[in-house]
């Protein structure tokens, strides 16, 4: 038997799961769920890391009380964002959220053409990329960089808090746009051309390797021993893909805060046609990569829920939104947004943004909650279907199926619309796919399973996987 603590940190919320391997099955039990580390300041959105660290420690405390002991700990998180550490190990500043205005400002000012950036990193051209944020910082806040000892992505900074060791996990580093896709290491060429301080970038660690042991002070305070902290696929997308059985050569759709549509491959595709089609390459487990396109996702529904709740003065649940969507879906003529519309980068009024996007698409703007949410769903499904066809054009392959995972895979209407727009057979995979993938890589690191394929078969035995009819 093996027990692993999974810390799965999304941009919207975090969760701690106790993964137990026993009798050739894997079980995940939720220990703690939390949010509130995304905060608004006068200048825009930031991340409150002290609050996040407190929640991580509370997760370890609860896990210690439930399990008694652990074989390992693993952390995955969203990509793109980074923290700067000073020479004493403290934060130089409050980390910026990727939807802060500086991201687009940095993207607009980058002196290298997108073609040159893509030829090195293979990353999708997005204004939220780390390279855009960091370039803006070199121009507008270089003093913070001068005071810094190291730059860490979000899961890496949590692992630093746990172990005291500075490392950069590969799949997370690949989201920065600063890693050479051919070497899987930091690109000195890009750093030099963009005037970025390469001294801040930490040694790259790969999935299955060990960051170090839980710090003695933390272990004693939280009732744990020197538990090894294993480097999982620290980018939550890579963890999610690790959990999916893609043996038939099918594609995947991750329906979370972002919608990610992709295809697992053995090597990155650096042909400029990939960039021109709005796709990029990201890192996976066991030396794999995936061709992927990132779109706005259920982040829009999260913002809509908050806005409608504030406007209506009454609580709004996701179940309530689903009921309203079901009613709206009975209408013959339903509107749809364009999820790639710049309106949705960080809209101050999501309701007005949805209506304006529908009007731009030549559809009648909705005014009720169900119609607004359905416009988001239909827009996402349409873009996902288009992305699937583009993958087939880029690769010369017909995808036999799509595997859906993430929170949106629980929504029957969204899944049905994705199936209709893509024309593919759809499998509903694990909802908490990134947590399952996190656990699998910990088990690989512990030697409890021997390969990614064995781990995926373990998930198939342990989770209710269903085909959409």
CATH of the domain at 85: 3.30.420.40
Q: Does residue 226 share a domain with residue 86? A: yes
Tens digit of each residue's pLDDT (9 = 90 or more) over 398-414:
999 999 999 999 988 99
The stretch 96-111 carries a mean pLDDT of 96
Q: Does residue 222 share a domain with residue 123? A: yes
Would you say 351 and 308 are in contact if contact means Cβ atoms under 8 Å apart? Answer: yes
Q: Sign of torsion, CA 263 267 273 277?
A: positive
Q: Does residue 57 share a domain with residue 191? A: yes
Distance between CA 218 and CA 293 in Å, rounded? 39
DSSP assignment, residue 398?
-
Q: Does residue 225 share a domain with residue 249? A: no
Mode of pairing for the β-strands spanning 289-296 and 280-283: antiparallel
Distance between CA 262 and CA 416 in Å, rounded? 19
The stretch 363-378 carries a mean pLDDT of 92
Q: Does residue 189 share a domain with residue 42? A: yes
Residues of the domain holding 257: 244-429
CA neighbor of 148 nearest in space, from 134, 128, 127: 134
Residue 413 lies in a domain: yes
Q: Does residue 352 share a domain with residue 210? A: no
Residue 441 lies in a domain: no
pLDDT of residue 82 exceeding 90, the answer is: yes
Tens digit of each residue's pLDDT (9 = 90 or more) over 114-139:
999 999 999 999 999 999 999 999 99
Distance between CA 437 and CA 443 in Å, rounded? 10
What's the confidence (pLDDT) of residue 362?
82
Distance between CA 338 and CA 360 in Å, rounded? 9
Cα Rg of the chain, angstroms: 21
Residue 439 lies in a domain: no
Number of domains within the chain: 2
Q: Does residue 257 share a domain with residue 224? A: no
Structure tokens at 64: 């210690």
Q: Helix, strand, or coil here: 304?
A: helix
- Phi/psi of residue 108, each to 5°? -65, -25
CB atoms within 10 A of CB 213: 17
CA neighbor of 255 nearest in space, from 294, 220, 198: 294
Distance between CA 373 and CA 381 in Å, rounded? 12
Query: What are the helix (H) ranges across 296-432?
Result: 299-312, 318-328, 350-360, 369-395, 412-422
Percent of the chain residues topping a pLDDT of 90: 88
Residue 466 lies in a domain: no
Distance between CA 231 and CA 160 in Å, rounded? 11
Percent of the chain residues topping a pLDDT of 70: 100
Tens digit of each residue's pLDDT (9 = 90 or more) over 29-58:
999 999 999 999 999 999 999 999 999 999
For residue 298, name the pLDDT band (cuts at 50, 70, 90).
Answer: very high
Length of the chain: 469
What's the confidence (pLDDT) of residue 332?
65
Structure tokens at 460: 């198939």
Residue 442 lies in a domain: no
Exposure letters 138-147 (e unless 16+ CB within 10 A, then b): beeeeeebee
For residue 151, name the pLDDT band (cuts at 50, 70, 90).
Answer: very high
What's the confidence (pLDDT) of residue 12?
87
pLDDT of residue 26 exceeding 80, the answer is: yes
- Which of 184, 206, 230 corresponds to the end of one domain? 230
The stretch 455-459 carries a mean pLDDT of 97
pLDDT of residue 384 exceeding 90, the answer is: yes
Distance set, CA 125 to CA 3, 151, 276 (Å): 39, 22, 9
Which residues are designated catalytic?
236
Tens digit of each residue's pLDDT (9 = 90 or more) over 400-452:
999 999 999 998 899 999 999 999 999 999 999 999 999 999 999 999 999 99
Residue 455 lies in a domain: no
What's the confidence (pLDDT) of residue 158?
99
Q: Does residue 208 share a domain with residue 107? A: yes
Q: Does residue 221 share a domain with residue 77? A: yes
What's the confidence (pLDDT) of residue 383?
96
Q: Does residue 275 share a domain with residue 209? A: no
Would you say 6 and 28 are in contact if contact means Cβ atoms under 8 Å apart? Answer: yes
pLDDT of residue 469 exceeding 70, the answer is: no
Distance between CA 420 and CA 329 in Å, rounded? 14
Question: What string of H, E and C letters represents the secondary structure of 182-248?
Answer: CCCEECHHHHHHHCCCHHHECCEECCCCEEEECCHHHHHHHCCCCCEEECCCCEHHHHHHHCCCCCC
Would you say 15 and 32 are in contact if contact means Cβ atoms under 8 Å apart? Answer: yes
Residue 459 lies in a domain: no
Distance between CA 375 and CA 132 in Å, rounded? 30
DSSP assignment, residue 366?
P
The owner of tokens 């694990």 is: 430
pLDDT of residue 280 exceeding 80, the answer is: yes
Residue 236 lies in a domain: no
Q: Does residue 283 share a domain with residue 382? A: yes
- Phi/psi of residue 85, each to 5°? -110, 140
What's the confidence (pLDDT) of residue 350?
95
Distance between CA 94 and CA 293 in Å, rounded? 29
Q: Does residue 74 share a domain with residue 14? A: yes
What's the confidence (pLDDT) of residue 365?
87
Distance between CA 135 and CA 142 in Å, rounded? 10
């Amino acid at each position: 038997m093996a027990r692993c603590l999974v810390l799965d940190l999304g941009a919207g919320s975090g969760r701690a799961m106790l993964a137990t391997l026993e009798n050739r099955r894997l079980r995940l039990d939720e220990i703690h769920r939390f949010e509130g580390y995304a905060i608004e300041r006068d200048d825009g959105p930031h991340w409150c890391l002290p609050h996040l660290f407190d929640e991580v420690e509370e997760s370890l405390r609860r896990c210690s009380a439930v399990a008694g002991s652990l074989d390992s700990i693993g952390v995955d998180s969203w990509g793109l964002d980074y923290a700067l550490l000073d020479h004493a190990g403290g934060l130089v500043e409050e980390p910026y959220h990727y939807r802060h205005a500086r991201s687009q400002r940095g993207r607009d000012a980058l002196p290298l053409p997108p073609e040159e950036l893509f030829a090195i990193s293979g990353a999708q051209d997005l204004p939220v990329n780390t390279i855009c944020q960091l370039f803006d910082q070199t121009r507008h806040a270089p003093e913070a960089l001068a005071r810094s000892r190291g730059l860490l992505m979000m899961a890496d900074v949590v692992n630093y808090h746990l172990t005291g060791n500075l490392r950069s996990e590969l799949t997370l580093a690949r989201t920065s746009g600063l890693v050479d896709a051919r070497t899987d290491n930091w690109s000195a060429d890009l750093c030099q051309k963009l005037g970025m301080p390469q001294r801040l970038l930490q040694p790259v660690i790969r999935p299955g390797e060990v960051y170090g042991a839980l710090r003695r002070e933390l272990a004693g305070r939280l009732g744990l021993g020197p538990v090894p902290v294993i480097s999982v696929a620290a980018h939550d997308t890579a963890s999610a893909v690790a959990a999916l059985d893609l043996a038939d050569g099918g594609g995947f759709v991750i329906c979370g805060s972002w919608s990610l549509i992709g295809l697992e491959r053995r090597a990155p595709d650096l042909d400029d046609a990939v960039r021109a089609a709005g796709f990029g390459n990201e890192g996976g487990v066991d030396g794999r990569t995936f061709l992927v396109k990132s779109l706005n996702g259920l982040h829009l529904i999260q913002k809509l829920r908050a806005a409608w709740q504030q406007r209506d003065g009454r609580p709004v649940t996701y179940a309530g939104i689903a009921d309203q969507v079901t009613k709206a879906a009975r209408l013959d003529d339903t509107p749809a947004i364009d999820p790639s519309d710049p309106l949705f980068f960080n809209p101050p009024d999501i309701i007005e943004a949805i209506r304006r996007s529908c009007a731009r698409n030549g559809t009648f703007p909705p005014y009720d909650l169900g119609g607004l949410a359905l416009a988001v769903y239909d827009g996402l499904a349409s873009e996902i279907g288009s992305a699937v066809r583009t993958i087939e054009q880029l690769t010369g392959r017909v995808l036999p199926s799509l595997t859906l995972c993430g929170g949106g895979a629980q929504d029957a209407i969204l899944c049905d619309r994705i199936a209709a727009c893509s024309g593919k057979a759809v499998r509903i995979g694990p909802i908490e796919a990134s947590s399952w993938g996190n656990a699998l890589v910990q088990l690989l690191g512990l030697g409890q399973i021997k390969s990614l394929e064995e781990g995926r078969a373990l998930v198939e035995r342990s989770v209710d996987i269903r085909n959409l009819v």
